[in-house]
Amino acid sequence: MWAKTRSPRLRASTIVSDHGLSLPDVSITESPSISSATRPAVRSSPALSPSRASDFKQCPLLYRFRAVDRIPEKSTKAQVKGTVVHAALEALYGMPTATRSFATAVDLVDPAWDRVVAESPELEELLAPEERASLLDQARELVHGYYEMEDPTRFDPESCEQRVEIELEDGTPLRGFIDRIDVAPNGMVRVVDYKTGKSPREFTEAKALFQMKFYALVIMRMRGIVPAQLKLMYLADKQSLTYTPDEGELQRFERMLSAIWKAILSAGETGDFQPKRTKLCSWCDHQALCPEFGGTPPAYPGWPAVSTR
């Protein structure tokens, strides 16, 4: 079960979960990797990420458009804002602990925007100058929200924006980026994900839980321990959702991921990715190519030898 909390302002250094787990000051054991803003489009063999697995569950044809055809989609302003905030927070945790003041964090927003645009120059065109100023103001507001939830001068994460990649026993490849991993001195692990929208309604909550279980499973298979806590931080309304997974649940989740991957490979062999019309189609960029909306998909290019994540 999720537990929802409204975070107190500037919490103490010891972070206590719902079941009393203490995750006090921990040290960085590896350098934070590059931010989501500056993540390269990694080209490697196809793998399951939380997003791609969700895509296939939602609509196999949507999966094909994104993972096989790789048809570009326009970034939304909300996505760009989220990327900027993630990049600013990653930069913040790359700084010495004592220097992570709110003023410093706010000053990291503009350079974060510069890095995002350097990586994806087309984003410059997405926003008129006044829209960009407004978006960066909103990003600073989200950083403020973050400071109302945690005090980053009181602890060090083990890693930020960590790229993870594993292969399950049956060969199912999993890949993704974890926003933040905290490790307590007693070895307990917490997986943290920042959300720049408001706390979720039922559907998006299920999607968020799917993502967090995915990363909990990756940690369990990489480190041989079940993460003590999964935590989603909704910076806009300053609420946290925490979840405590158990091993049996993650094993069942693992079997589900394997089944999804098997279904993807099977569709990949034949090119038979069926459309699945739901109310989520309203947000799909590919209606013009979708038979459900009178469109025709492009000729199937075949299962990719390499893929972007």
**Distance of alpha carbon 28 from alpha carbon 22, whole angstroms:** 17
Complex with ligand SF4: residue 248 or 294, whichever CB lies closer: 294
Length of the chain: 309
From the CB of 287, what's the least distance to ligand SF4, in Å? 5
Q: Which of 23, 47, 53, 61 binds ligand SF4 (CB under 6 A)?
A: 61
β-bridge pairing 189-195 and 173-183: antiparallel
To the nearest whole angstrom, how small is the minimum distance from the Cβ of residue 263 to ligand SF4? 15
Tell me: does residue 32 bind ligand SF4 (CB under 6 A).
no
Nearest distance from C-beta of residue 272 to ligand SF4, angstroms: 14
The CA distance from 105 to 84, in Å, is 12
Task: Confirm or reject binding of residue 59 to ligand SF4 (CB under 6 A).
Answer: yes
Spell out the residues 6+ positions from residue 3 whose beta carbon is closer than 8 angstroms to its own: 18, 241, 242, 243
- Asked if residue 95 binds ligand SF4 (CB under 6 A), the reply is no
Total residues contacting ligand SF4 (rule CB under 6 A)?
13
Q: Which of residues 230-289 bind ligand SF4 (CB under 6 A)?
A: 275-277, 281, 284, 286-287
List 144, 163, 292, 308, residue binding ligand SF4 (CB under 6 A): 292
Structure tokens at 67: 């993972």
Helix (H, G, I), strand (E, B) or coil at 204: helix
Q: Where are the alpha helices (DSSP H) in 65-200?
A: 77-93, 102-107, 109-119, 123-126, 129-149
Could you tell me the two tokens for 160? Answer: 């930020």
- Footprint of ligand SF4 on this chain (CB under 6 A)? 59, 61-62, 275-277, 281, 284, 286-287, 290, 292-293
